[in-house]
Amino acid sequence: MTAKTTPNYQARNFLTAVAVLRDKIEAPDAYPFTIPAIRTLREIEFKEPVTFFIGENGSGKSTLLEAIAVRSGLNPEGGSRNFNFSTRASHSSLKDYLRLVRSPRRARDSFFLRAESYFNVASNIEELDREPSPAPRIISSYGGRSLHEQSHGESFFALFMNRFGGDGLYLLDEPEAALSPSRQLAFLTRLHELVQAGSQFLIATHSPILMAYPNAAIYQLDSGAPSLIAYRETEHYRVTRNFLTRTGQMLDILLNEAEDADLDDG
């Protein structure tokens, strides 16, 4: 895939930055400000149409993405602005301390995908479609087939292919969770189509396949403030490359370490 980029992406992005209003934080030693990457976060700029948040579990990438989504008017459990269901109020207070820097351009569409609660989105669609309404059924925008009647991966892909359109702001939390490697490659194609149609993406991911998207900004979230990192410098790329090119050696090391640990425990 050869990516065609446009020079002034930041001018056409819907969100150009997010800032933490640190002077308003009353309890800096309380959650979520104890999360390593949130503790020192001040501002992140969005200069490209695709921005990735990466880091270990617990680094704060999902918490940050959720807060941006809620601050953008999206449901904390996922969906578009029209979804307001809640099965469990678990989102953090970070949204109350964020300032979104918006461009004059307004998104025609927006959606927040949370892999862990997409089942709830599918259920809410069915509940809403059971109510009498002169409007078209909501599921028609997702391909017309119940998301519960598809595999997790199929329902994710139905969302990407049918529900997402151009001129959209899309926030995706680990979209690779239900996608096979080949589906992740297909998602890259769809991602590029949507970028070319004027969309902006903020994505929290562990996938070295997805974060290979050309010219994307990759922010590493760890013990310090989020910082930009080159694709080939990410741990995801380096570990995957080493494992695939030195599979036998890596397995020998890993399995021998496991055996040594068992002997020590004995």
Task: State both tokens at 110.
Answer: 């927006």
Residues 141 and 266 in one domain: no
H/E stretch holding 9: helix 9-12
Residues 103 and 159 in one domain: yes
Residues 127 and 247 in one domain: no
Residues 150 and 217 in one domain: yes
Residues 259 and 172 in one domain: no
Residues 217 and 247 in one domain: no
Q: Is residue 119 part of a domain?
A: yes
Task: State both tokens at 187.
Answer: 């998602």
Q: Is residue 1 part of a domain?
A: no
pLDDT bucket at 189, cuts 50 / 70 / 90: very high
> Cα–Cα distance between 166 and 29 in angstroms, integer?
41
Report which of 114, 109, 101 is spatially closest to residue 82, judged by C-alpha positions: 109
Q: What is the pLDDT of residues 61-70, one digit of tens each?
A: 989 999 999 9
Report which of 50, 100, 94, 77 is spatially closest to residue 205, judged by C-alpha positions: 50
| CATH code of the domain in which 211 resides | 3.40.50
Residues 229 and 239 in one domain: no
Residues 239 and 229 in one domain: no
Residues 135 and 32 in one domain: yes
Report which of 141, 151, 96, 161 is spatially closest to residue 118, judged by C-alpha positions: 151
Q: Is residue 159 part of a domain?
A: yes
Residue 110 pairs in a beta bridge with 169
Global pTM value:
0.84
Residues 43 and 107 in one domain: yes
Q: Is residue 2 part of a domain?
A: no
Report which of 192, 176, 181, 174 is spatially closest to residue 78, judged by C-alpha positions: 174
Domain range holding 196?
A: 9-233
Q: What is the mean pLDDT of residues 254-259?
A: 75
Q: What is the pLDDT of residues 125-149, one digit of tens each?
A: 656 556 666 656 656 566 666 556 6
Higher-pLDDT residue of 113 and 131 is 113
Total number of domains in the chain = 2
Q: Is residue 3 part of a domain?
A: no
Residues 88 and 160 in one domain: yes
Which H, E and C letters describe 220-252, residue by residue?
ECCCCCCEECCHHHCHHHHHHHHHHHCHHHHHH
Residues 135 and 243 in one domain: no
